[in-house]
């Protein structure tokens, strides 16, 4: 699974965050697809398998827990998931869905990029 051929999937219900991250990742040379909730994310994955998923937890329509559960049940291979959450204990959220990593909102973009490079490269 490589982020040279495959996009990074951003899942967040906040448009500002989505667009900011989209710009940032595009600048870094990544291909990016976005989804506003879990359901949309599953549809995007159906169309194109991502190399990495950045996942918000609290979202309308389908939240991060349900998405992660359904995604893991789907036939693999599965991309690593990095949880991005504004919850107090991001680590607990990440453990709940057995995510590969987590980052607390609001984040420092340098920190975020460091994390993404770690999984994408």
| Site size toward another protein, by CB under 8 A | 21
Packing angle of the helix pair 109-120, 15-27 (nearest 10 deg): 60
Which stretch, 1-9, 33-41, 64-72, 83-91, contacts another protein (CB under 8 A)? 83-91
Nearest to 11 by CA among 72, 61, 77, 76: 61
As measured in angstroms, the least distance from the Cβ of 109 to another protein is 4
Residue 106 sits in the site that holds another protein (CB under 8 A)? yes
Q: Is the previous residue joined to 115 through a cis bond, with omega within 30 degrees of 0?
A: no
Residue 73 sits in the site that holds another protein (CB under 8 A)? no
Considering only CA atoms, give the Rg of the chain. Answer: 13
Cα dihedral 57/55/111/98 (nearest 10):
80
Compare residues 16 and 47 and give the one whose CB is closer to another protein: 16
DSSP of 10-26, one letter per residue? EE-S-HHHHHHHHHHHH
Which stretch, 36-44, 46-54, 67-75, 102-110, contacts another protein (CB under 8 A)? 102-110
Interaction with another protein in 11-30: which residues (CB under 8 A)? 14, 16-17, 20-21, 23-24, 27
Residue 63 sits in the site that holds another protein (CB under 8 A)? no
Residue with tokens 């049940």: 73
Residue 105 sits in the site that holds another protein (CB under 8 A)? yes
């Amino acid at each position: 699974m490589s982020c040279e051929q495959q996009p990074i999937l951003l899942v967040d219900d906040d448009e500002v965050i989505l667009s900011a991250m989209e710009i940032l990742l595009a600048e870094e040379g990544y291909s990016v697809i976005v989804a506003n909730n879990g359901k949309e994310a599953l549809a995007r994955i159906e169309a194109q398998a991502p190399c990495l998923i950045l996942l918000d937890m609290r979202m309308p329509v389908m939240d991060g827990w349900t998405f992660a559960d359904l995604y893991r049940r789907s036939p693999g291979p599965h991309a690593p998931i990095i949880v991005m959450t504004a919850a107090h204990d991001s680590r607990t959220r990440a453990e709940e869905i057995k995510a590969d990593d987590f980052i607390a909102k609001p984040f420092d973009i340098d920190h975020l990029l460091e994390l993404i490079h770690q999984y994408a490269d």
